[in-house]
């Protein structure tokens, strides 16, 4: 289980992370590249102006380079949190770099400047780390700037007689750069996308393997606990029954003794379920298949409290019949734990809605408690995540085990907080998988 607090951010359980979860580019890497660009542009301008005695418009050119350097200093004073820049920021930086380079090329000969090929760099970087739509937009911008520079630019000055190449040469340079932009963007994006997919697949496999290992370890602990607790629990049950016979019905301790007997019986049933193998379930046994709403109410039955009202609702969409699902221990325990969590933290009321249509079945659990804590909301479903004050002996395994059991049955679970207050848990299944009782 986990403590609650206000938040509005939905968190899907067991979501597979992207290979770069916090941002497409490291801030330090970006700043290093940008400083190299600023220093390289400044050095090139001075070498050409002084070493080759070319009369460049140095004031304007150095002013453009100086704006980039000033922007770098501003960024250093306010770095982004987490050390990475997000997709939007990276797009703005690359757009600025394209415009800044185009302005320098306009002052220094346009496409006749050998450094015009550098206009491919922002497009290539976008194809490597940003989305397809962003890369297409930057490619279009780069082609637009190249088209302008091909025919509108300040002439490149020279100390010797200079004859500007013909328009045919300018057209050839324009065609070459446009083809290079399209090819480099398409090829680089395809290669980078394949690498991203491989990285995501590897991350998903590692996460699934780690969860299965944890579930297997917990399964072994559960079997060992069931074996070790069997004997002392039998002794407690016998002693409780003897006390029930000895204590008079009008004794002030009679209710406590009856509670002790009922709880020891329930512990025995839980241990019996732990030792029951899935293949021992007979599908032909009466009530081994139940309507989904009935299964939900059955799962919630052990956790209902007198001071908490638990309301059950059904909602059918499209006139489809209610799913009839196997009465498996995995479903009962997984749903029961999430409902118990809601009952435990609710103030007065818990609402459980069962809905379905032709393709999907879902169970929504709402409570009027304080909601999930934003600190632990993103980590819900991981083992040993618990924020109860004082500990209370809780190991933070309840939600992890419940999600593991539901996940094996093809469920997708999402947690978030309601705008009016309280928590919301939504469990969704593919209807065919849920009714078939098979793992996807």
Question: For the chain, how many structural domains are there in total?
Answer: 3
Q: Do 399 and 414 form a contact (C-beta atoms < 8 A)?
A: no
157/253 same-domain check: no
Q: Do 157 and 169 form a contact (C-beta atoms < 8 A)?
A: no
What is the chain's length?
440
335/350 same-domain check: yes
CA angle 256, 260, 263 (to 5 degrees): 135
d(Cα 187, Cα 176) in Å, to the nearest integer?
A: 16
Cα–Cα separations (whole angstroms), residue 122 to 46, 71, 228: 24, 17, 65
Q: In what helix (H) or strand (E) does residue 337 lie, and over which residues does it extend? A: helix 329-345
Q: In what helix (H) or strand (E) does residue 286 lie, and over which residues does it extend? A: none
Q: In what helix (H) or strand (E) does residue 424 lie, and over which residues does it extend? A: strand 423-430
User: Are β-strands 309-316 and 349-356 bridged in parallel, bridged antiparallel, or unpaired?
Assistant: parallel
106/215 same-domain check: no
Residue 4 lies in a domain: no
pLDDT at 217: 65
**Could you give the dihedral angle defined by the CA atoms of residues 68, 70, 74 and 77, in that order, rounded to the nearest 10 degrees?**
120
d(Cα 189, Cα 127) in Å, to the nearest integer?
A: 4
CA angle 371, 375, 376 (to 5 degrees): 75
267/401 same-domain check: no
229/161 same-domain check: no
Residue 6 lies in a domain: no
DSSP 86-111: -HHHHHHHHHHHHHHHHHHHHHTTGG
Residue 401 lies in a domain: yes
d(Cα 432, Cα 440) in Å, to the nearest integer?
A: 10
CB within 8 Å of 168: residues ≥ 6 apart: none
**How many CB atoms are closer than 10 A to CB 354?**
23
275/409 same-domain check: no
Would you call 403 helix, strand, or coil by DSSP?
A: helix
**CATH number of 347's domain:** 3.30.565.10
274/369 same-domain check: no
Q: Do 365 and 339 form a contact (C-beta atoms < 8 A)?
A: yes
Choose one of 180, 206, 232: the last residue of a domain.
Answer: 206
For the chain (440 residues), the mean pLDDT of every run of 10, in chain order, is: 42 40 67 87 86 82 91 86 80 91 89 86 86 90 90 73 62 83 82 77 73 65 68 82 83 84 80 58 60 91 84 88 87 89 90 92 92 76 52 57 81 89 92 73
Which class for 74: exposed (0-12), middle (13-18), buried (19 or more C-beta within 10 A)? exposed
186/328 same-domain check: no
The domain of 272 spans 210-280
CA angle 215, 219, 222 (to 5 degrees): 135
Whether this prediction's pTM lies above 0.85 is answered by no
Q: Do 4 and 397 form a contact (C-beta atoms < 8 A)?
A: no
26/170 same-domain check: yes
* Tokens found for residue 250: 């009008």
d(Cα 354, Cα 363) in Å, to the nearest integer?
A: 5
Which region, left, alpha or beta, applies to residue 319 given φ > 0 means left and ψ of -120 to 50 means alpha?
Answer: left
Residue 3 lies in a domain: no
């Amino acid at each position: 289980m986990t403590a609650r607090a206000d938040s509005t951010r939905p968190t899907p359980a067991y979501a597979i992370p992207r290979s770069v979860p916090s941002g497409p580019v490291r801030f330090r890497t970006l700043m290093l590249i940008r400083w190299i660009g600023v220093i390289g542009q400044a050095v090139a301008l001075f070498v050409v102006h002084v070493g080759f005695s070319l009369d460049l418009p140095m004031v304007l050119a150095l002013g453009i380079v100086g704006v980039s350097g000033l922007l770098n200093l501003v960024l250093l004073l306010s770095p982004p949190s987490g050390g990475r820049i997000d997709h939007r920021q990276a797009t703005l930086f690359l757009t600025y770099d394209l415009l800044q380079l185009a302005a320098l090329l306009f002052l220094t000969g346009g496409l006749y400047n050998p450094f015009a090929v550098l206009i491919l760099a922002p497009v290539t970087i976008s194809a490597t780390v940003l989305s397809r739509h962003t890369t297409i937009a930057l490619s279009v911008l780069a082609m637009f700037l190249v088209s302008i520079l091909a025919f509108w630019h300040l002439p490149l000055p020279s100390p010797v007689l200079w004859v500007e190449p013909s328009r045919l040469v300018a057209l050839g340079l324009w065609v070459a750069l446009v083809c290079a932009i399209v090819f480099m963007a398409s090829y680089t994006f395809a290669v980078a996308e394949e690498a991203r997919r491989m990285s995501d697949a590897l991350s998903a496999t590692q996460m699934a393997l780690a969860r299965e290992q944890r579930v297997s370890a917990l399964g072994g602990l559960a079997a060992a606990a069931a074996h070790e607790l069997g004997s002392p629990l039998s002794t407690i049950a016998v002693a409780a029954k003897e006390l029930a016979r000895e204590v008079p019905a009008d004794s002030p301790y009679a209710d406590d003794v009856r509670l002790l007997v009922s709880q020891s019986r329930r512990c025995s049933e839980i241990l019996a379920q732990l030792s029951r193998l899935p293949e021992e379930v007979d599908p032909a046994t009466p009530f081994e298949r139940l309507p989904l709403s009935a299964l939900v109410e059955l799962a919630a039955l052990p956790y209902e409290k007198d001071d908490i009202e638990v309301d059950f609702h059904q909602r059918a969409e499209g006139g489809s019949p209610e799913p009839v699902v196997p009465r498996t221990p995995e479903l009962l325990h997984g749903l029961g734990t999430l409902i118990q969590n809601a009952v435990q933290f609710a103030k007065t009321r818990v609402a459980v809605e069962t809905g379905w249509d032709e393709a999907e079945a879902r169970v929504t659990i709402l409570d009027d408690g304080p909601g999930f804590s934003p600190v632990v909301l993103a980590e819900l479903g991981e083992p040993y995540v618990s924020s109860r004050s004082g500990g209370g002996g809780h190991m933070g395994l309840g939600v992890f085990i419940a999600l593991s059991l539901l996940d094996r049955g093809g469920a997708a679970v999402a947690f978030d907080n309601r705008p009016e207050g309280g928590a919301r848990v939504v469990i969704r299944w593919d209807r065919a998988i849920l009714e078939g009782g098979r793992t996807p």
